[in-house]
Structure 1
C-alpha cells in the first residue's frame, strides 16, 4: 500500500508530462513563438490565463463560506495553468494551430515565473504558513511542463519531425490511459473527503470561478470565434499535476487534494454548455480564416 502511494503521484506526473511531449511533437515551426511575437496577444493571454482566474478565486472564496482546505485547493488550481489537454481541445472547437500551440508554449514558459510569483503573493495575502519558494515551485513546473515540451519540440522539429507528428496522437491515447489509471486510486483515496465537499457551497463557488474564467478568456480572445474559444479553454482549465505537487510540497491533507479533483470535475461540467454553444456558432459561421 505504501509503495502504491508513492507510485501513483509519479504515474500522474509522468502521464501528464507525456501529454506535454505530444503537444511539442505535434506543433510546427513558427508555433513556438507565435504568441511571443505578438505583444498584444501575449498581454491578453497572460491576463486571461494567469491573472483573472486568480483574482476571481480570491473574490469568490471571500464571499463563499468554504472550508480552509477548499480555499487552499481552489487557490492552488487557480495559480496552476497550462493543462496538457488544452491544445487538442482548442483545435476541436475552431482554434488555429499556430495560436493554440503558440498560446500553450507561451503560457508554459511563463508559468515558471507566474506560479512562484502568485504563490508568494498569496502566502502574504492570507498570512499563511505555506511554503512557496520559487526554486521548489519552478522545479515542479519545469519538470512537469517545460522539460517535456522541450523533448516534444526536439523530436518534432529536428530529430524525427514526421515520425513525431504521426506518433503524437498515439502518445496522447497512451497518456490519457495512464492519467485515468493514476486518477482512479487518487479519487478512491480521497472519496470521503470529496463527498464531504458537496453541499457546503463549494461546488457553486468553483462553478462561479470556472464561468468567470471562461468569460474572461472569451472576451479577450479577439474577433475570431475559434480564438475566443481557444483562450477561454486555456483560462478555465488548470493543471492538476502542478496543484497536487504544490499541495504535497506543503504536506497538504486529503481534503486539499479532494478540492483539487472536485475543481477539475466542476470545470469540465461548466464547460459543456459553452462547448455546445461554440459548436453551434461555428457550424453557423463556417470555417474561420487561417493565419489571422
Structure 2
C-alpha cells in the first residue's frame, strides 16, 4: 500500500469514526425527521440528484474543461453528501436531525441513483460506466450505514457510557481527518499547481457556489432547512467521487483534482456558514 492509499484510508477511517459518533447521539425521531416532511424530502432529492447533475452535464458539454476536472465534477455531482457535514450544518444554524436524516436517505438512495446517473453521463459523453450498484453499496455500507448502525447499537447497549465516548472519538476523528487532508494536499500540491488551469479552479468554485445557492433556495423558507440543504448540495462524498472517476478512467490520476475540490469547498463554505450563523438567532424555528 503506497502513501496516497494510506492517506485515503486515514480519511475514510476519520469519516467512518465521525458517523459512528452521530450514531451514539442519534434518536429514532432524528432518523425519521425527513420522512415526516415529504415536501422537504422531494426538494432535497431534486436539488442534489437532479438539478446539480443536469447543470454539471450541460456545463461540461459546452465548456472545454480538462478531462480530470470534467470527470471529477460529474462524479461529485452524483455522489451523496459527505458524513462530516452535519457538524457544519449545525454551526450554520441548521437542524441536526435533518442533516442526519439526509445522510441516511442519500446513502440508501445513492445505491440506485449513482449507477443511473453514470448511465446518463455515458449517454451524454459516451463515457463507459465502470461502476455498478454493488461497488456503491460496498462504499455506502462501510463508510455510512455500518458505522451509524454500530453507533446506534452501542448507544442502546451502553446508554451511560456512550455519551462519554462522543467527545474523545470525535476529537480523534477530526484530528485524523485534518492530518490526512493536510498530508494529501502537501503530497499533491505540485500536481495541483502544474496541472490545474484557471478554468478548472473556476469550474470547481462555481460548482460549490451554485450548489450553495440551489440548496439554499430549495431548502427554504425555513432558514435552518436552507442551510442544511445548501451545504449538502455543495459538498459531496470524496470517496465515492474518486471511486466513480477511477472506475471509468482507470489510467487517470484524480487525487490532485479532488484535493483541490476539498480545499476550495472548505474555503468557500466558510462565508456561508458565518452568514447563516449570524441569521440563525433571527430566523423562525422549523416546524
Q: TM-score, normalised by structure 1?
A: 0.88
Deviation at 1:212, TM superposition (A): 1.3
Q: Identify the residue that residue 237 of structure 1 maps to in structure 2.
A: 235
RMSD: 2.2
Counterpart mapping for 1:127-138 below 5 A = 127-138=126-137
Tell me what 2:94 maps to. Answer: 95
Q: Which residue is 1:68 aligned to?
A: 67
8 A contact 1:74–1:260 mirrored in 2 = no
In 2, the alpha carbon distance for the partners of 1:63 and 1:125 equals 11
Q: Deviations over 1:195-242 (max 9, x none)?
A: 134443111111111111111111111322111111111111111122
Structure 2: distance between partners of 1:190 and 1:172: 27
Q: Find the aligned partners of 2:178 and 2:64 in 1 and give their Cα distance.
A: 32
Question: In the TM superposition, what are the counterparts of 1:101-120 in structure 2 within 5 Å?
Answer: 101-120=100-119
Equivalent in 261, 264, 267 of residue 262 of structure 2: 264
Distance 1:221 1:234 in 2: 10
CA contact (8 A) 2:119 2:129 kept: no
Aligned to 1:160: 158
Output aligned runs, 1:1-292, within 5 Å: 2-156=1-155, 158-250=156-248, 251-254=250-253, 256-283=254-281, 285=282, 288-289=284-285, 292=287
Query: Structure 1 residues 33-42 or 187-196, which shifts more?
Result: 187-196
SS in 2 for 1:30: helix
Aligned to 1:77, the other structure's residue is in SS state helix
Deviation sequence 1:119-165 (CA, Å, 0-9, x none): 23223322123411221222122222221121122223x21234333
| Partners of 1:6 and 1:95 in 2: CA distance | 34
CA contact (8 A) 2:92 2:227 kept: yes
Deviation at 1:40, TM superposition (A): 1.2
Say if 2:215 and 2:233, in contact at 8 Å, map to a contact too.
Answer: yes
What is the deviation of 1:17? 1.2
Give me the whole-angstrom Cα distance separating, in 1, the residues matched to 2:4 and 2:85. 28
Number of aligned residues? 286
User: Using the alignment, how far apart are the partners of 1:77 and 1:236 within structure 2?
Assistant: 9
Distance in 2 (alpha carbons) for counterparts of 1:198 and 1:263 = 11
Aligned partners of 2:136, 2:220: CA distance in 1, in Å? 32
- 2:47 is paired with a residue of what secondary structure? helix
**Structure 2 Cα separation of the partners of residues 103 and 171 of structure 1:** 22
Q: Which region of structure 1 is more displaced relative to structure 2, 123-132 or 232-241?
A: 123-132
Output one character per residue of 1:41-86: Cα deviation in whole Å (capped at 9) or x when no partner: 2111111222222222222323432211111111122212221221
Q: Report which stretch shifted further, 67-76 or 123-132.
A: 123-132
- Cα distance in 1 for residues equivalent to 2:71 and 2:202: 16
Inter-partner Cα distance in structure 2 for 1:42 and 1:84 = 18
Separation in structure 2 between the aligned mates of residue 60 and residue 25 of structure 1, nearest angstrom? 41
Q: Please state how far the C-alpha of 1:264 moved relative to its aligned partner.
A: 1.7
- Any stretches of 5+ residues in structure 2 without a counterpart? none
1:94 partner SS? coil
Distance in 1 separating the partners of 2:138 and 2:125: 24
TM-score (ref. length: structure 2): 0.90
When residues 234 and 54 of structure 1 are mapped into structure 2, their CA distance, relative to the original with a 3 A threshold, is same
Q: 2 CA distance for matches of 1:220 and 1:44?
A: 6
Q: Distance in 1 between matches of 2:120 and 2:161?
A: 43
SS at match of 2:34: coil
The SS at the match of 1:9 is helix
Q: How far off is 1:19 after superposition? A: 1.3
